[in-house]
Structure 1
């Protein structure tokens, strides 16, 4: 059987360690050995930052996604919709009524009713 040794910790730190150890390991010794092995094998210091957390990465991703959405909406408004409208107008197969061009106007000679006529004087006294 292994012997035990006493180590002095502040009360708050000891309580936190005991709570952590009870939730994840069978004994306090196993918890401490696993933590020390983790730092030793991964060659990191407990004082080092491991980089951005999941929340910060998610926030950055959401910002970038919103920026991409804004760019796509702008492209749709300024490029896609007008281009589609132009292409649709090119491929429309409506039968247009044949209208004569302004230069090709044919003058129709019709006898139009006279709007103003000279009045005939019934009494020629002059």
Structure 2
């Protein structure tokens, strides 16, 4: 069995460590060993900043995405829709009204269809 050694910490720090250790690890020894290994293998100091956190990166990305969306909407309103409307109006053709030629007769004579005709007898006339 491994032997233990006592290390003196301030009460507030010890309580914080105990709470953290209970949440993430089985024992306080495992928690401390894992933290030391993390700093050793990643070759970083606990005192240095790692840069922006996930929350700040996410907030910056959301701002940039919203800005891009606003730019695209503005382009659509001011450039795309008016251009499409102009192009469509160019390609829309109305059939020209048919004007009669000067020489063409304006009135076409149509013979009405006769539904019933009298029967003519040629024999009776003789």
Q: TM-score, normalised by structure 1?
A: 0.73
Range with bigger deviation, 47-56 or 87-96:
87-96
Following superposition, the deviation at residue 98 of structure 1 comes to 6.0
CA distance in 1, matches of 2:43, 2:3: 28
Who is 2:59 aligned against?
59
Q: Give 5+ residue unaligned stretches, structure 1.
A: 100-126
CA spacing shift, 1:88–1:29, aligned 2, 3 Å: same
Verify: 1:96 aligned to 2:96, yes or no: yes
Alignment of 1:40-79 (within 5 A): 40-79=40-79
What is the alpha-carbon root mean square deviation over aligned residues?
1.5
Q: TM-score, normalised by structure 2?
A: 0.73
SS in 1 for 2:96: coil
CA distance in 1, matches of 2:31, 2:4: 15
Who is 1:5 aligned against?
5
Give the number of equivalent residue pairs: 99
CA distance in 1, matches of 2:96, 2:59: 56
Following superposition, the deviation at residue 50 of structure 1 comes to 1.1
Q: Give 5+ residue unaligned stretches, structure 2.
A: 100-126
Following superposition, the deviation at residue 94 of structure 1 comes to 2.0
Following superposition, which runs of at least 4 residues in structure 1 exceed 6 angstroms of deviation? none
SS in 2 for 1:56: helix
